[in-house]
Amino acid sequence: MVINKSAKLAAAIAVMLFGMSEPGDGLRVPSRSFRVFGDIDTFKFPLPPNVNPGGLKVSVCPLMYDKKWAYSVEIDDGPTTTLTVTQPLLAKYSFTTAPPGIKGGLRMPFVGGAAIYPFRIGTENASFLNWDQVHELQSKGWSILNHSYWHSGYSWDPKGALSADRLRDEVFWSLSIIAAETPSGNAPTHFVFPNGYMEYKSVINKFGILSASRVAGNKLVGSFKDADRLDIDRNYLDESVWSNSANPLDGLPTNPKPEQMVIDFTHGTDGDPKSANYKRWIERLSWLERQFGSTGSDTMWCAPTDTVIKYRLAAAYSKVTITGHNLVVQVPHEFANSALTIKIVGANSKYMASWQRAIFDKHETTWWTTPVLTQRGFRPPVPRVKRFYKGIINDMDFNPPIDLAAIRIRQFGMATNAEMFVEIVDPKNVVTKLKIYNESTNWGVWHLIPIVPNKEAIKIKSIHLPKGTSFKELEIWTATDVPS
C-alpha cells in the first residue's frame, strides 16, 4: 500500500465528492472537519499482475462487508456491569465478515460502546468502571463514548440549564481526560447527550465531534448525506420502560431498509440469568442473530456507534478508481481512520483470490475490506493539556511556576465542610480561592476545578488544599502550549 497526501486536488475533489462548495450544504459536517478537506489522503493498492484493469468497475460499499444495515448497543454512565455482564452477553451472538449470501466469513461477536463520564470513572467505587476495565472493554472490540464530564444539564426544569462556559467545560474536559487515559491518546468521536439535554449540540459541533445520540433523535435510514448525525435516535431499554412492553423486540426492524442504523441503549443489564431483563436481552439478541446474523441472512453489521459513523463518513466522502495497475482510494484526511469494503466487478476470481486478505468473490464480483487506512485518531481539543501530577493530597510548591489548567480531587466519603476551596498562589504572591464543585457528593467522584478552556491558564508557584479524610487523591493538569 502506498500513501500520499495532496492539497492540489482538494477543491476539485471536495466538490466532486461532496457536491458542495462551502460548509453547511449536504451532510452536516462540523467546521473542524471542513478545515481539513484541504488534505486528501491517497492510498494505492497494486492489482495482481494477471488482472486486466481496463474492464474493472470499482465502488465503496455503503456499510462494512457490504451489509444491508447496522446495529449498535450503547451502555450509559459506565456501570461495571458493562464489562462483567453486557460484554460477555453480547459476545455470545455473531455476524460474519462475508457479504450477504456468501459463505466463509469470520464470525464476529456483537459489540457495543460504553458512554462514560470521567466524574465517576476510576474512583474506587466498584459500581463504576475503572480505567483498567475501560481498557479491557476496548481490547474486546468495544468503543468508549463521550457522555460529558459531570453528566449535568436537563430540560424539564429551568434549574437544569447550563451556562455556555459550563457546557464547554463538560465537553473539553471529558475529551481531554478520556484521551489522556486511553493508550492511543485519542478522544472519543461520538457523544451521548446527558439526560437528553440538547444544549450540548452547538458545543460538540464546535469541538468537532462527529456524531451524537439520544432517545427521540433522528432515525438514520438511507443516504447518510441526508441524515443529521449529531442527533441520532436510539431505543430506550432500561427495565423500568422496557418491562411495560409486551414485545421484547420493540424498536427492531423486521425488514430493515438499506443503510438503516439502529441503536439500543440502557444504563445496565441485569446479571441474573433468571431475571426478566436478562431473558428479554437473550430473546432480542437471539432473534437478531437468527434473522440477520451468522445463523440467518447475515445482512447486519454489528459495531459500536462511532465505528459505524466513521465508516459511513469515509465511504460517503471517498473516491475509488483504477489508475494504471493500481486500485486508488482517496479520502479526506479527517475521515481516513476507517477500513473500507470495496466492490470490484469484472475481474477473474482466480486471479483476485491471492491478492489481498478478506477477499470474497461471486462470479466476477470481488469484495475486499481494506485494513484501517490510517491509525491517526481524533486528537484532544486545544488548548492541549497534560497531567502534571497524580498522587497523594499535599500542599505543593512549584519552581519554576506552572501553567495551571485544572485541578482534580478524588473524593470517597462525605465531605467535612459544606463549602471547600483550593488556594493557588501566583508568582506575585496573589492568592486566589477556587471553589470545589459538588463538594457534598460522596462514594467516589473526581471533582474538577477547570481553568481552561474558558480562561487562560494561570501561572502559579504553589497550591494549598483542603484537609479531610474524604479526599483521597490529587491531579494537577497543566497547559502545554502556553507561550513562554
Statement: residue 4 has pLDDT above 70: no
pLDDT of residue 354: 67
Does the residue 219 lie in any domain?
yes
Statement: residue 5 has pLDDT above 60: no
Averaged pLDDT, 366-395:
93
The pLDDT-based confidence of 419 (bands split at 50, 70, 90) is confident
Residue 425 belongs to domain with CATH number? 2.60.120.260
Does the residue 431 lie in any domain?
yes
Round to whole Å and give the CA distance between 133 and 326: 43
**Comparing 466 with 40, which gets the higher pLDDT?**
40
Same domain, 278 and 357: yes
Using DSSP bridges, classify how beta strands 107-109 and 300-302 pair: parallel, antiparallel or unpaired: unpaired
Q: Which residues contact 331 (CB under 8 A, 6 or more apart)?
A: 40, 41, 43, 314, 317, 318, 319, 340, 373
Same domain, 330 and 400: no
Round to whole Å and give the CA distance between 93 and 110: 6
Residue 104 belongs to domain with CATH number? 3.20.20.370
Statement: residue 86 has pLDDT above 60: yes
Residue identified by cell 459489540 is 111
Read off the DSSP letter of residue 166. Answer: H
Q: pLDDT tens digits, residue range 297-323? A: 999 999 999 999 999 999 999 999 999
Does the residue 199 lie in any domain?
yes
Q: Which residues contact 444 (CB under 8 A, 6 or more apart)?
A: 120, 123, 124, 125, 127, 128, 410, 411, 412
pLDDT of residue 3: 52
Buried b vs exposed e over 151-163: b needs ≥16 C-beta within 10 Å? bbbeeeeeeeebe
Does the residue 93 lie in any domain?
yes
pLDDT of residue 22: 29
Averaged pLDDT, 118-134:
97
The 3-state secondary structure of 61-94, one letter per residue: CCCHHHCCEEEEEEEECCECHHHHHHHHHHCCCE
Secondary structure class of 115 (helix, strand, coil)? strand
Same domain, 444 and 320: no
- Grid cell, residue 108, equals 464476529
Same domain, 272 and 294: yes
* DSSP codes of every residue in 273-330: TTSHHHHHHHHHHHHHHHHHSTTTT--EEE--HHHHHHHHHHHHH-EEEEETTEEEEE
Does the residue 484 lie in any domain?
no
Same domain, 31 and 159: yes
Tally of structural domains, the chain = 2
Same domain, 77 and 46: yes
Same domain, 292 and 405: no
Does the residue 133 lie in any domain?
yes
Average pLDDT, the chain: 88
pLDDT of residue 28: 27
Helices and strands in the chain, H and E counts: 11, 26
Across-strand partners of 58? Answer: 344
Does the residue 33 lie in any domain?
yes
Same domain, 304 and 422: no
Statement: residue 158 has pLDDT above 70: yes
The pLDDT-based confidence of 324 (bands split at 50, 70, 90) is very high
Q: Which of 381, 406, 421 is the last residue of a domain?
A: 381
Across-strand partners of 57? Answer: 345
What are the backbone dihedrals phi and psi of residue 367, each rounded to the nearest 5 degrees, phi first? -115, 130
Instruction: Provide the domain limits for residue 155.
Output: 1-381
Q: Which of 381, 416, 440 is the last residue of a domain?
A: 381
Q: Which of 381, 398, 432 is the last residue of a domain?
A: 381
The pLDDT-based confidence of 440 (bands split at 50, 70, 90) is low
pLDDT of residue 214: 96
The pLDDT-based confidence of 482 (bands split at 50, 70, 90) is low
**Which phi-psi region, left, alpha or beta, contains residue 230 (left: φ > 0; alpha: ψ -120 to 50)?**
alpha
Round to whole Å and give the CA distance between 192 and 264: 13
Q: pLDDT tens digits, residue range 8-22? A: 333 333 333 333 322
Q: Which of 5-9, 175-179, 201-205, 408-412 has the lowest mean pLDDT?
A: 5-9
Of the chain, the percentage scoring pLDDT greater than 70 comes to: 87
Round to whole Å and give the CA distance between 83 and 365: 40
Same domain, 310 and 438: no
Contact 62, 301 (CB under 8 A): no
Across-strand partners of 409? Answer: 447, 474
Same domain, 377 and 389: no
Round to whole Å and give the CA distance between 34 and 159: 36
Rounded-to-10 torsion of CA 62, 57, 25, 65: 10
Same domain, 167 and 271: yes
* DSSP codes of every residue in 253-272: -SSPPTT-EEEEEES-----
Statement: residue 452 has pLDDT above 60: yes
Does the residue 160 lie in any domain?
yes
Same domain, 368 and 390: no
Averaged pLDDT, 145-173:
97
Q: Write down the pTM of the prediction.
A: 0.91
